[in-house]
Amino acid sequence: MIDYLIRRLLVMIPTLLAISLITFAIIQLPPGDYLSTYIAELQSQGEAVDAQKIEFLREQFGLNMPFYMKYLTWLWGMFHGDFGYSFEYNLPVSQVVGDRLALSMILSFTTVLFTWVVAFPIGVYSATHRYTAADHTLTLLGFLGLATPNFLLALVLLYFTNVFFGTSVGGMMDARYIGQPWSLAKLGSVFEHLLVPVIVIGTSGTAGMIRRLRANLLDELNKLYVVTARAKGMPPLRALIKYPLRMALNPFIADIGNLLPQIVSGAAIVSVVLSLPTTGPMLLSALQSQDMYLAGSFLMFLASLTVVGVLLSDIALALLDPRIRLHGGVTR
Amino acid sequence: MTVRVRARDRVPHVVSPEPFDPYAVEAMTARQERYYQASQWRLMWWRFKRHKIAVLSAAMLLALYASVVVSEILAPYGLESRNDRFILAPPQPIHLFHDGRFVGPFVYGLDYRLNMENLRREYTDDPALVQPLRFFCHGDHYRFWGQIDMDLHLACPAPGGTAFLLGTDRLGRDMLSRIIYGTRISLTVGLIGIAISLTLGMTLGGIAGYYGGLADMLIQRLIEVLRSFPELPLWMALSAALPVDWSPVLIYFGITIILGLLDWTGLARAVRSKLLALREEDFCAAAQLMGASPQRIIRRHLLPSFLSHIIASATLSIPSMILGETALSFLGLGLRPPITSWGVLLSESQNINVVVLYPWLLLPVVPVMLVVLAFNFFGDGLRDAADPYSH
């Protein structure tokens, strides 16, 4: 097990390095940088620009360095918890992002939990009650859930909650808790406001999970060992839970690799629609104003979130399934 | 011990006078013969036809893509024609009977009043104004495909009247016409994107599956890294990197290329694993033993067997591109006016107040969902049909 863990961790390092390189290349892509945009803006307003001051700022932010030097500086900084400087806010990135990263993480992991909690009973039910009316209804609902783009669902939900309840579901917590230190009441308010976004983001993932669980469980239920168990007179519920269910559970954990990027993507755009104070809206504005270090740290954070999530799922899978542990971690 | 059969249980002794045909068991009915001699593609078609919802979806998609060719004629108004007397007018329902008398499809004229208390525009039906729709008529001028000057429309409002079947937007432009024009952009984004993604996916997946070894490992790693990026933020970052001074048409191609560039990983994996599996099949070994060249094996035996699968998975990834474009345009990072897609139309309804006051601005959601659903069903049907020899 420890052997497997070490190997898995070693594989993660080049992946993270490649991700950081791609991220940095992307945020470097737009022609010009924040300063040149800023100067152009000042000049268009007729203000004088002190060439010496600009040169000093360029030197200060390392904008004159060649690409690889900038990259290495950025990478080196990140190891020390220094994520660069946000030009728009005039603050170090780590101070700007504040609670947002934590809220993004809470949102993503609650959604994963929601997906599991909802998909599990429904998937098991529709596999054991195959081709009944309930199964067909659930399949149809799943298809609808899979096809509905989540930000549109968010818009439609916003409309209907406003029409029927007259409340706004936007925001991450009650207004009176904003800026307050964390307390139990604040946490409760956050969870209240989490409900709608979690449902909106989790719908398509849940639908996909139900379909996979149903297919997997059906495969297992048709195997001979289940027939044998039944023929021996094992109670049906026990014959379901003891082996087939355990086998069918694997995709629940193995699929996090596909589920997490999807959820993180969904969270980004749904947060914009519902104006949640997570990374999504700030990433959008940072991209629009070419605030490169801020945008870069968000991208890096979101990608690392999925990488770490996949790592955790692989470890959980290895604990759950001895075959993976012993055969060197070929999970997919 | 012998078994004695009682006399009345004995089967009568019969000899058939007909000549003996030793192949009688193997003879096939005409139907069976047709089935066994049918080509692979014909079998797929038969199987696809059994999936009723998929056929229906295919028909709907075909109709939508056909409409893209003649969007200008189908739309009752021009893309940019403004009706500044009717800003944010609600949808006008079509009626058939007026005062118990059959008139044919018509709409009631709109009465406009500015509510001085809350400064809201209020429109009411004016029952005195019956404005029958005209068909195959001359209306707003447009340049057909940007080339030919024309003014023919499938339907237009009565002379001097209005026909905003889905309402108007904040500039008084007809929503129905804009949605019809938006179809052209939204649907083609998926097609161009998938063409790029297919080319990349088949090439890289083919190299990985065929050569194996180092190339395979490098490509697998690349796919893993790309897949661990959440799609949307990456799309956002890339489209924000498109230069601001590009023309809208260039932006359109830029966006499709971005969508295609990040989507090929799934296809490449499918191609690779299919190639690896097919290489081990008996028919492939047989062809090798018969002395076929690798080129012939790939073209003649491997390609046809996995092409159908690839087409099916490509179809299933078109909706994610359409959604990607919609999401980007909705956020204001994608296409820009005057290019009009469903996402661009939806970007006007970002504000919750707008959505509550003028819910018809949310209507472009409907075609998006219909198309995504249709592509999903169609792709599902294709996938089931892709392997006609399995049961």
List pLDDT tens digits, range A83-127: 777 777 777 777 777 778 888 888 888 898 898 888 888 888 888
Kindly report the nearest CA distance between residue A238 and chain B, in angstroms: 31
| Chain B residue at shortest CA distance from A294 | B237
Q: Could A257 and B227 be called an inter-chain contact, meaning their C-beta atoms sit closer than 8 Å?
A: yes
Of B302, B311, B312, B299, nearest to B380 (Cα)? Answer: B312
Cβ-proximal residues to A298 (8 Å cutoff; 6+ apart), any chain: A97, A279, A282, A283, A286, B233
- The tokens for B220 are 């697998």
The pLDDT of residue B4 is 66
> Does the distance separating the beta carbons of B225 and A15 come in below 8 Å?
yes
What distance in Å separates the CA atoms of residue A255 and residue A51, rounded to the nearest whole number?
54
Mean pLDDT of B277-285: 82
Residue A140 has φ and ψ, to the nearest 5°, of: -65, -45
Q: What is the pLDDT of residue B58?
A: 92
Helix axes of A279-288 and A256-274: crossing angle, nearest 10 degrees: 70
- Whether the predicted pLDDT of B132 surpasses 70: yes
Contacts of B240 in chain A (CB under 8 A): 30, 287-288, 290, 295
pLDDT at B387 over 80: no
Residues of A in contact with B355 (CB under 8 A): 155, 158-159, 162
Cβ of A140 under 8 Å from any chain B Cβ? no
Instruction: List all residues of chain A from 62 to 101 with a beta carbon under 8 Å from chain B.
Output: none
Judge: B319–A26 Cβ closer than 8 Å, yes or no: no
- The CA distance from A116 to A125, in Å, is 14
Q: Where are the alpha helices (DSSP H) in B136-263?
A: 175-211, 213-228, 231-240, 248-261
Residue B222 has pLDDT above 70, yes or no: yes
**Nearest by CB: A27 against B232, B237, B319:** B237
Q: Which of A19, A152, A164, A302 has the most B C-beta neighbours within 10 Å, making it the best mutation to test the interface with B?
A: A152
Angle CA A78–A79–A82, to nearest 5: 40
pLDDT exceeds 80 at position A167: no
Residue of chain A whose alpha carbon sits nearest to that of B371: A147
Is A265 in a helix, a strand, or coil?
helix
Q: Please answer yes or no on whether B229 and A19 come within 8 Å at the CB atom.
A: yes
pLDDT at A34: 67
Q: Which residue of B has its CA nearest to A144?
A: B373
Overall average pLDDT of the B131-154 stretch: 80
State the pLDDT at residue A32: 65
pLDDT of res. B5: 65
- So what's the pLDDT on residue A252? 76
Rounded to the nearest angstrom, the minimum Cα separation between B81 and chain A is 27
pLDDT tens string B291-330? 888 778 877 888 777 788 888 888 888 888 888 888 888 8
Helix H segments across B230-289?
231-240, 248-261, 264-279, 282-289
Question: Which among B234, B327, B373 has CB closest to A151?
Answer: B327
Evaluate if residue A328 carries a pLDDT over 60. Answer: no
Residue contact A149–B331, C-beta within 8 A: no
Residue A84 and residue A75: Cα distance in Å, rounded?
10
Residue A330 has pLDDT above 50, yes or no: no
Mean pLDDT to the nearest integer, A245-258: 77
Query: Are the CB atoms for A125 and A248 separated by under 8 Å?
Result: no
Contacts of A33 in chain B (CB under 8 A): none
Which of A15, A146, A268 is the closest to B228 by Cβ?
Answer: A15
**Chain A stretch 171-200, residues whose beta carbon is closer than 8 A to a beta carbon of chain B:** none
Hey, of A33, A151, A292, which one would you mutate to test binding to chain B, going by the most B CBs within 10 A of its CB?
A: A151
Residue among B56, B186, B229 with most chain A CBs within 10 A, to mutate: B229
pLDDT at B65: 92
Nearest CA-CA partner of A303 in A12, A7, A8, A54: A12
Q: What is the pLDDT of residue A175?
A: 62
**Alpha-helix runs per DSSP H in B70-168:** 71-74
Whether the per-residue pLDDT at A332 is higher than 50: the answer is no
Quote the tokens at residue B240. 């924000």
Q: At what angle do helices A292-320 and B213-228 cross, to 10 degrees?
A: 110
Cα A77 to its chain centre, rounded Å, is 24
Looking at residue B285, its pLDDT comes to: 85
Yes or no, beta carbons of A151 and B349 under 8 Å apart: no
Percent above pLDDT 90 for chain A? 0
Per-residue model confidence (pLDDT) at position A331: 42
Supply the DSSP symbol for B298. I
| The most confident of A176-180, A188-192, B374-378, by mean pLDDT | B374-378
Task: Compare all CA atoms of chain A with the CA of B225 and give the residue at the minimum distance.
Answer: A15
Which of B222, B228, B371 best probes binding to A when mutated, by most A CB atoms within 10 angstroms? Answer: B228
- The three-state secondary structure class of B83 is coil
> How many other CB atoms are found less than 10 A from the CB of residue A318?
20
Whether A152 sits inside 8 A of B365 (CB atoms) is: yes
* Average pLDDT rounded to a whole number, residues B203-216: 83
The C-alpha atoms of residue B176 and residue B153 are separated, in whole angstroms, by 13
Split at pLDDT 50, 70, 90, the class of B2 is: low
Question: Residue B72 pLDDT more than 60?
Answer: yes
For chain B, say whether A209 makes contact (Cβ under 8 Å): no
Burial class (CB in 10 A: 0-12, 13-18, 19+), A225: exposed
Say how many Å lie between the first and final Cα of chain B, rounded: 48
Cβ distance of B373 and A264 shorter than 8 Å: no
B333 with A284: Cβ contact below 8 A: yes
> Which A-chain residues 144-173 have CB contacts (< 8 A) with chain B?
144, 146-149, 151-152, 155-156, 158-159, 162-163, 168, 170
**What does the pLDDT average to over B51-71?**
89
Taking one residue from A and the other from B, the number of pairs with CB-CB distance under 8 angstroms is 127
- How far from the centroid of its chain's Cα atoms is residue B169's Cα? 26
Amino acid found at A126: S
Q: Give chain A's radius of gyration (CA, Å).
A: 25
Q: How confident is the model at residue A308 (pLDDT cuts 50, 70, 90)?
A: confident
Contacts of B350 in chain A (CB under 8 A): 273
DSSP bridge pairs for B101: B98
pLDDT one-digit tens code per residue, A21-66: 888 888 877 766 667 777 777 777 776 667 777 777 777 666 667 7
DSSP, residue by residue, A176-205: GGTTSPP-HHHHHHHHHHHHHHHHHHHHHH
What DSSP letter does each residue of A202-262 carry, written as one string?
HHHHHHHHHHHHHHHHHHHHTSHHHHHHHHTT--HHHHHIIIIIHHHTHHHHHTHHHHHHH
Q: Could A149 and B368 be called an inter-chain contact, meaning their C-beta atoms sit closer than 8 Å?
A: yes
| Interface of chain B toward chain A, CB-CB under 8 angstroms | 221, 224-225, 227-234, 236-238, 240-241, 243, 319, 323, 326-327, 330-333, 346, 349-350, 352, 355-356, 359, 362, 365, 368-369, 372-373, 376-377
Contact call for residues A315 and A12 (beta carbons, < 8 A): no
For residue A266, give the chain B residue with the closest CA.
Answer: B232
For B343-375, b/e burial (b = at least 16 CB within 10 A) is bbbbbbbbebebbeebbbbbbbbebbbebbbbb
Is the CB of A152 less than 8 angstroms away from the CB of B240?
Answer: no
- Contact of B223 with B302, CB cutoff 8 Å: no
Chain A residues within 8 A of B327 when measuring between CB atoms? 149, 151, 269
pLDDT surpasses 90 at B282: no
Say what the pLDDT of residue B220 is. 87
User: Quick one: pLDDT band at residue B59, thresholds 50, 70, 90?
Assistant: very high
- Beta strand pairing status for A91-92 and A85-86? antiparallel
**Mean pLDDT for chain A overall:** 79
Amino acid (1-letter code) at residue B55: V
| C-alpha to C-alpha distance for B165 and B107, rounded to whole angstroms | 9
Tell me how close the Cα of A119 comes to any Cα of chain B, in angstroms.
20
CA B182 – CA B340 distance, rounded (Å): 5
Asked whether the predicted pLDDT for residue B63 surpasses 90, the reply is yes
Q: What is the mean pLDDT of residues A269-278?
A: 82
- Asked if A298 has any chain B CB less than 8 Å from its own CB, the reply is yes
- Contact between chains at B376 and A147 (C-beta distance less than 8 A): yes
Residue A309 in tokens: 């999530």
pLDDT for residue A179 is more than 70: no
